[in-house]
Amino acid sequence: ADMSKVRGRRERCGGPPSVAVVHGSGTPCDPAQPGRATHSGILDDLSLMSVSEQQTLLTRPRRRNPNPDLTFTPPRGSSQAGADVHGGSSGCVPSPGTPLSGPVSRAPPRSSPRGALHTIGRLVKLGRLRNVVVLAGAGISTASGIPDFRTPGTGLYANLAKYNLPYPEAVFDVDFFSDDPRPFYSLAKELYPGRHRPNYVHYFIRVLHQKGLLLRMYSQNIDGLEKMCGIPEDKLVEAHGTFASASCHLCYTAFPAEEAKKAIMSDGVPTCSFCSATVKPNVVFFGEDLPEKYFQHARDFPRADLLMIMGTSLQIEPFASLVNTVRSTVPRLLLNRHAVGPFERKPLRRRDYMELGDLVDSVSRLARILGWHAEIQDLLNSQEGGTLPAMMSDPQSGEGEQMDQQQSSSLGAEAQARRPAQSSSGGPVPSCSSEESDSSEPDGRNPVTSVPSIYGRLV
């Protein structure tokens, strides 16, 4: 793929021409993996456990949406985002009126002791999963008190009603922002780092790193909690930008992030000293480039041996399509309140596992299976006491940067995020690709060769 043409963009869910809700298993690459027969054999055996779980899922009666009002009417000319989590089969494009996310009254979560968590836990304990990629969304931060987007009633979109947005995603539309930045600033006040603390789920991911198992965390979140809990910068891709830097939305002149924050928190409007247009924190808006770091996925995903998907509705592209870029032999574990993306498919793809329910609950059960629970509790206690231990970027070798709590917390104020890169002429700099330098993986595995749909999205 010619990565220089890629411009990452957030998709307005379901709206043509940017319809990009992920359905189906999508296993674009599955090269044979020489020398991995043992791994495959174990996976084959263990996958039987999830088959029985799938049967349970298939026979469980599904409740219809008890509140048809909890629906999102898309902007004119677009079809409905999201997926019919009540029983739609794979490959469908949901019809208008389908709820954006499942109401809390969905079928009760499964907690079979021999289910997804035990399967994955066992593989980890066997040492079979050493390159875990985590894909995360707003759901990992709800336990920290930050609402997600789409949960009816509590979601941030629902709270923006007072601004009479033409459609909820307009809050991230740069043209809309240009006319009226207040809805986004209102959201920003809620999400600015500093008001909230990492929770059990964040620390679970940190421990995953401490154990040397985290290949990379790709997060859609802009709350900065991943860095605050000590996940090193080189292990983290903040795919939708952050509040850690700011710039003019028109001419991209950099603006001091702290000044922008101060103005926004006191209901002011920071303006560019160069062109007087409105300043925007470098959170990625629809149609804007994703950070260059995001394109690291071309190297990471072929190396992943477990994909953990947590707390996301998988409705924003190109992020959502990442789930389809691991090899088909790679287990994918969804931890969420309800099935999303390819996990709506029935039966599940072989080696797809999901545990539905509250994330903290699911993650703490997985942590107990792995024997990590006490360690995570200690980290949470240290956070409370302000004595969070240092974190290394490479815990196995002992090398890498040390990070104490103060550093990790203050990272939110540093320029970690990328706004769309600009050339000297003011135009966007082409996104860089790591593919060329990565034609052969160090561990000898085949890289992903077929190209997922995200590469076709040119803006």
Minimum distance from CB of 219 to ligand CNA (Å)? 8
Minimum distance from CB of 382 to ligand CNA (Å)? 22
Sites for ligand CNA among residues 119-148 (CB under 6 A): 137-139, 141-143, 146, 148
User: Tokens for 71?
Assistant: 């629906």
Please list the active-site residues: 240
From CA 201, how far away is CA 359, in angstroms rounded? 7
Minimum distance from CB of 420 to ligand CNA (Å)? 15
From CA 185, how far away is CA 267, in angstroms rounded? 8
Minimum distance from CB of 7 to ligand CNA (Å)? 16
Q: Is 229 marked as binding a ligand?
A: no
Report the residue number, 272 or 295, with the smaller CB distance to ligand CNA: 295
Report the residue number, 312 or 416, with the smaller CB distance to ligand CNA: 312
Does residue 312 belong to the site contacting ligand CNA (CB under 6 A)?
A: yes
User: Tokens for 275?
Assistant: 């062109």
User: Tokens for 431?
Assistant: 């996104």
Contact segment (CB under 6 A) with ligand CNA among 66-74, 90-98, 220-228, 438-446 equals 220-228
Does residue 202 belong to the site contacting ligand CNA (CB under 6 A)?
A: no
Does residue 94 belong to the site contacting ligand CNA (CB under 6 A)?
A: no
Q: Is 275 marked as binding a ligand?
A: yes
Sites for ligand CNA among residues 320-349 (CB under 6 A): 336-338, 340
Report the residue number, 149 or 372, with the smaller CB distance to ligand CNA: 149
Q: Is 13 marked as binding a ligand?
A: no
Q: Is 251 marked as binding a ligand?
A: yes
Minimum distance from CB of 105 to ligand CNA (Å)? 12
Does residue 364 belong to the site contacting ligand CNA (CB under 6 A)?
A: no
Count Cβ atoms within 10 A of the Cβ of residue 416 and give its class: 0-12 exposed, 13-18 middle, 19 or more buried.
buried
406 within 8 A of 262, measured Cβ to Cβ: no
User: Tokens for 67?
Assistant: 């509140």
Report the residue number, 69 or 436, with the smaller CB distance to ligand CNA: 69
From CA 340, how far away is CA 309, in angstroms rounded? 10
Sites for ligand CNA among residues 152-171 (CB under 6 A): 155-156
Q: For Cα atoms 84, 90, 93, give the angle at the middle one, nearest 5 degrees.
A: 55
Can you tell me which of 358, 404, 414, 438 binds ligand CNA, judged by CB under 6 A? Answer: 358
Sites for ligand CNA among residues 222-281 (CB under 6 A): 222-223, 240
Does residue 416 belong to the site contacting ligand CNA (CB under 6 A)?
A: no
From CA 246, how far away is CA 173, in angstroms rounded? 16
Report the residue number, 392 or 413, with the smaller CB distance to ligand CNA: 413
Minimum distance from CB of 72 to ligand CNA (Å)? 11
Does residue 209 belong to the site contacting ligand CNA (CB under 6 A)?
A: no
Report the residue number, 15 or 311, with the smaller CB distance to ligand CNA: 311
3-state secondary structure the chain: CCHHHCCCCCCCCCCCCCCCCCCCCCCCCCCCCCCCHHHHHHHHHHHHHHHHHHHHHHHCCCCCCCCCCCCCCCCCCCCCCCCCCCCCCCCCCCCCCCCCCCCCCCCCCCCCCCCHHHHHHHHHHCCCCCCEEEEECHHHCHHHCCCCCCCCCCCHHHHCHHHCCCCHHHHHEHHHHHHCCHHHHHHHHHHCCCCCCCCHHHHHHHHHHHCCCEEEEEECCCCCHHHHCCCCHHHEEECCEEEEEEEECCCCCEECHHHHHHHHHCCCCCECCCCCCEEEEEECCECCCCCHHHHHHHHHHHHCCEEEEECCCCCCCCHHHHHHHCCCCCCEEEEECCCCHHHHCCCCCCCEEEEECCHHHHHHHHHHHHCCHHHHHHHHHHHHHCCCCCEECCCCCCCCCEECHHHHHHHHHCCCCCCCCECCCCCECCCCCCCHHHCCCCCCCCCCCCCCHHHHCCC
Does residue 82 belong to the site contacting ligand CNA (CB under 6 A)?
A: no
Does residue 27 belong to the site contacting ligand CNA (CB under 6 A)?
A: no
Contact segment (CB under 6 A) with ligand CNA among 32-40, 151-159, 176-184, 436-444 equals 151-159
Amino acid at 147: P
What is the per-residue binding string for ligand CNA in 173-192, x denoting contact by CB under 6 A? ------------------x-
Count of positions on this chain that bind ligand CNA (CB under 6 A): 31
Minimum distance from CB of 10 to ligand CNA (Å)? 6
Can you tell me which of 25, 50, 220, 329 binds ligand CNA, judged by CB under 6 A? Answer: 220
Report the residue number, 54 or 336, with the smaller CB distance to ligand CNA: 336
Report the residue number, 302 or 318, with the smaller CB distance to ligand CNA: 318
Minimum distance from CB of 224 to ligand CNA (Å)? 8
Binding-site annotation: residue ranges for Zn(2+): 248, 251, 272, 275
Which positions lie near ligand CNA, rule CB under 6 A? 101, 137-139, 141-143, 146, 148-151, 155-156, 191, 220-223, 240, 311-313, 315-316, 336-338, 340, 358-359
